[in-house]
Amino acid sequence: MKKAPWWIIGVMVGIVFLIIGFGREQFDDIYNKAIMICLECIGIG
């Protein structure tokens, strides 16, 4: 049986993780952080 290349397995794992993250509303966490000026990032916080 032909074995799938590792990169395809990696992409599939990534997509599964993205779906789980979507289900757990983790994209909202990413967005909510990214739309605020990160004071730590700019050396003020």
Partner 1 sequence: MRRFTFARIRLFFQILYTIVTNGYAYGYLNGKIYKGSLKYACVPGLNCYSCPGAVGSCPIGALQAALNEHKIEVPFAVIGFLFVFGSLFGRFVCGWLCPFGLLQDLLHKIPLFKKRKQLPYHNVLKYGKYLVLIGLVIVGSSFLFGGFVKVPAFCKYLCPSGTFMGAIPLISANANLQMQVGGLFYWKLGVLITLIILSIKIYRPFCQYLCPLGAVYGLFNRFSLVQIRWTKEECTSCGACQRACPVNLPPEKISVSPECIKCGKCVDACPTDCLHFCKKTNNRQVKEIKR
Contact footprint for partner 1 (CB under 8 A)? 2-11, 13-22, 24, 26-31, 33-35, 37-45
- Alpha-carbon distance 22 to 29, whole Å? 10
Q: Tell me the closest approach of the beta carbon of residue 25 to partner 1, in angstroms.
A: 9
Distance CA 40, CA 16 (A): 31
State how far Cα 34 lies from the chain centre: 13
> Least CB distance from residue 19 to partner 1, whole Å?
8
- Give least dist CB 1 to partner 1, A: 12
